[in-house]
Amino acid sequence: MFDKKAKPSPRRQAVLDRYSALVDRLSPRSKMGQGLFRAFVVGGAICTLGQGFIELGLHCLDMTVAAASTFASVMIVLLTAALTGAGVFDKIGQYAGAGAFVPISGFANAMVSPAMEFTREGLVLGLGAKLFTIAGPVLVWGVSASVVYGVIYWLITILG
C-alpha cells in the first residue's frame, strides 16, 4: 500500500467489490422523498419570511427596493444567529437539510457555530483562527469562481 502505483490484485479487488456490495445492501439510504419535502417546506418558509421583511420595509418603513432587500437579508441573518445561539438551528438543519441552508441562513449558522465552539481556545487562536472553518471554503471558491466568470463576462463584452 506504500507503493503508490500498486493496485490491488484482481482477486483482492473482487473481494473488496463484493464487500462493498454487501455494505451497500445493508446500509440504510437517505429518504429522498421525505428530504425533498422537508427542504421545500422549510426553505420555502424561510424565503416567505424574507419576502415578508421586504414587504415590511417597502410598505411600513418607507424603504427603497434595494434597502428592503438588504433589510430582509440582515433580518434572516440576525434570526439565524439568534437561533444558533439558542441551540435551536442545528435541530432545524437536521430536520430540513438543504432547506435550512440555501437561503443565507446557512451562512449565518456557518459563522456563528464555530464562533460559539472555539471561543474556549482563546479569542485570537481559537475564535480568530477557526471562525471561517466552514464558511471559508465557500468564500475562497465562491470569490475565485466569481473572478473567473467576471473575466469571461468582460471578454464577451469587449468581443461582442
Partner 1 sequence: MPTNRIGQSTIVLPGRPRILAGASIAGKKEGEGPLRGDFDQIIEDDLFGEESWEKAESRFQYEAATAAIAKAGLTPAQLDVALGGDLLNQIMAASMAARELHIPFLGLYGACSTMAESLCIASMLVDGGYARHALCTASSHFCTAERQYRFPLEYGCQRPPTAQWTVTGAGSIVVSGDDTRPALCRATHVTIGRIVDMAIKDANNMGAAMAPAAADTLTRHFADTGRSPADYDLILTGDLGRVGHDVLLALMQERGMPLDPTRCTDCGLEIFAPGQDTHCGGSGCGCSAVVLSGHILRRFREGDLRRVLFMATGALLSPTTSQQGESIPGIAHAIALEADA
Closest to partner 1 by CB, 6 vs 66, is: 6
Helix axes 89-96, 105-118, angle to 10 degrees: 130
CA-CA distance, 91 to 86, in Å (whole number)?
A: 11
All residues at 6 or more sequence positions from 102 whose CB lies less than 8 Å from its CB, including other chains = 43
CA-CA distance, 118 to 78, in Å (whole number)?
A: 20
Closest to partner 1 by CB, 57 vs 97, is: 97
- Does residue number 139 form part of the binding site for partner 1 (CB under 8 A)? no
Positions 41 through 80 that interact with partner 1 (CB under 8 A): none
Closest to partner 1 by CB, 8 vs 128, is: 8
CA-CA distance, 151 to 148, in Å (whole number)?
A: 5
How crowded is residue 49: how many other Cβ atoms within 10 Å of its Cβ? 15
From residue 102 to residue 131, the character string flagging contacts with partner 1 as x (rule: CB under 8 A) and all else as - is ----x--xx-xxx-xxx-x-----------
> What are the residues binding partner 1 (CB under 8 A)?
8, 15-16, 19-20, 22-23, 26-31, 84-85, 87, 89-94, 97, 100-101, 106, 109-110, 112-114, 116-118, 120, 133-134
